[in-house]
Structure 1
Amino acid sequence: MAGERRAEIDGRRMKTIFDAINDFGRVTDMPGWNRPGLSDEDMAVRRWFAARMQGEGLRVSMDGAANVSGRLGPEGEPCVMLGSHLDTVPSGGAFDGALGVAVALECALAMRDAEVPLVHPVEVIATSEEEGRFGGMLGSQALAGLTTQEWLGTAADADGVRLADALASHNLDPAGVMASARPANSVRAFLELHVEQGPVLERASIPVGIADRVSGVVHLGVTLRGVANHSGTTPMDMRADAFAGLAEIATAIPGLIAGRGTDQSRITIGKVELSPNFPHTIPGEALFSIIVRDAESVAMDRLCDGLRDRIAAVAGRHGLAHEIVERSRIEPVMLDAGLADLLRKEAKALALPSMVMPSGAGHDAQTMQALAPAGLIFVPSRGGVSHAPDEWTDWDAAVAGARLMLAAAVRLACE
Structure 2
Amino acid sequence: MTINFDRLKDHINTLAQIGRQEDGGIYRMAFTPKEQEARKWLSAQLKSARIPSHLDGALNMIGRLEDTNNQEQPAILIGSHIDTVPNAGALDGALGVLVGLECLTRIKEENIQTSVPLELIAFSDEEGRFGGMFGSRALSGQLNPGIIEEATDLDGQALKEVVKALGYDPYQALDASRPSEQIKYYLELHIEQGPVLDVEELSVGIVTDITGLFKWQVQLTGAANHAGTTPMELRKDAFMGLADFAHEIPRILDENGSEASRVTIGNAALYPGSANTVPGKVEFSIDARDVNIEVLEEIKTACRKTLSAIARRRGLQFDFNEVSVIEPVACDAVIKKSIEANAKKLAYGYKLMPSGAAHDAQMMAKIAPIGMIFVPSKNGVSHSPHEWTDWHHIEQGANLMLNTILDLSK
What TM-score does the superposition give when structure 2 sets the normalisation length? Answer: 0.88
Tell me if the contact between 1:218 and 1:328 (Cα under 8 Å) persists in the aligned partners: yes
Q: What SS is found at the alignment partner of 2:351?
A: strand
Per-residue CA deviations over 1:21-77 (Å, capped at 9, x if unaligned) read: 22233344x663333444454344233323332343322222232321122232333
Alignment counterpart, residue 63 of structure 1, candidates 56, 73, 78: 56
Change (3 A) 1:64 1:294: same
Tell me if the contact between 1:135 and 1:327 (Cα under 8 Å) persists in the aligned partners: no
Farther-moved stretch of structure 1 (107-116 vs 270-279): 270-279
Change (3 A) 1:24 1:234: farther
By how many angstroms is 1:264 displaced? 0.4
Alignment counterpart, residue 380 of structure 1, candidates 376, 381, 384: 376
Farther-moved stretch of structure 1 (320-329 vs 366-375): 320-329
Which amino acid in 1 is paired with 2:13?
D
Change (3 A) 1:387 1:155: same
Tell me if the contact between 1:65 and 1:172 (Cα under 8 Å) persists in the aligned partners: no
Aligned counterparts, 1:296-375, within 5 A: 296-375=292-371
Tell me if the contact between 1:335 and 1:366 (Cα under 8 Å) persists in the aligned partners: no
CA distance in 2, matches of 1:312, 1:202: 40
Alignment counterpart, residue 102 of structure 1, candidates 98, 102, 120: 98
By how many angstroms is 1:237 displaced? 4.8
Per-residue CA deviations over 1:318-362 (Å, capped at 9, x if unaligned) read: 444443222221111111100111111222222223332222221
Per-residue CA deviations over 1:133-180 (Å, capped at 9, x if unaligned) read: 555522212111122344444555667666556555545565222221
Per-residue CA deviations over 1:234-269 (Å, capped at 9, x if unaligned) read: 555555544443333333222211111111001122
The residue that corresponds to 1:116 in the other structure is 112
CA distance in 1, matches of 2:324, 2:125: 14
Tell me if the contact between 1:54 and 1:70 (Cα under 8 Å) persists in the aligned partners: no
Which amino acid in 2 is paired with 1:382?
K
CA distance in 1, matches of 2:131, 2:231: 40
The residue that corresponds to 1:92 in the other structure is 88
Q: What SS is found at the alignment partner of 1:179?
A: helix
Per-residue CA deviations over 1:346-405 (Å, capped at 9, x if unaligned) read: 222222233322222212222212222211011122222223332221011001010011
Change (3 A) 1:210 1:91: same
Tell me if the contact between 1:135 and 1:328 (Cα under 8 Å) persists in the aligned partners: no
Q: State the aligned residue count.
A: 407
The residue that corresponds to 1:47 in the other structure is 40
Change (3 A) 1:163 1:245: farther
Change (3 A) 1:228 1:261: same
Q: What SS is found at the alignment partner of 1:90?
A: coil
Change (3 A) 1:236 1:27: farther
Alignment counterpart, residue 16 of structure 1, candidates 1, 4, 10: 10
What TM-score does the superposition give when structure 1 sets the normalisation length? Answer: 0.87
Q: What SS is found at the alignment partner of 1:371?
A: coil
Aligned counterparts, 1:242-281, within 5 A: 242-277=238-273, 279=275
The residue that corresponds to 1:220 in the other structure is 216
Per-residue CA deviations over 1:254-302 (Å, capped at 9, x if unaligned) read: 2211111111001122233445555555555443332111010011111
CA distance in 2, matches of 1:237, 1:173: 60
CA distance in 1, matches of 2:309, 2:165: 43
Tell me if the contact between 2:338 and 2:408 (Cα under 8 Å) persists in the aligned partners: no
Tell me if the contact between 1:50 and 1:69 (Cα under 8 Å) persists in the aligned partners: no
The residue that corresponds to 2:20 in the other structure is 26
CA distance in 2, matches of 1:160, 1:236: 42
The residue that corresponds to 1:209 in the other structure is 205
The residue that corresponds to 1:77 in the other structure is 73
CA distance in 2, matches of 1:103, 1:387: 19
Unaligned runs of 5+ in 1: none
Tell me if the contact between 2:83 and 2:125 (Cα under 8 Å) persists in the aligned partners: yes
CA distance in 1, matches of 2:302, 2:157: 30
Tell me if the contact between 2:124 and 2:135 (Cα under 8 Å) persists in the aligned partners: yes
Q: What SS is found at the alignment partner of 1:185?
A: helix
Farther-moved stretch of structure 1 (290-299 vs 39-48): 39-48
Unaligned runs of 5+ in 2: none
Which amino acid in 1 is paired with 2:80?
S
Aligned counterparts, 1:70-219, within 5 A: 70-74=63-67, 75-154=71-150, 163-164=159-160, 167=163, 170=166, 175-219=171-215
Q: What SS is found at the alignment partner of 2:63?
A: strand
CA distance in 2, matches of 1:43, 1:238: 58
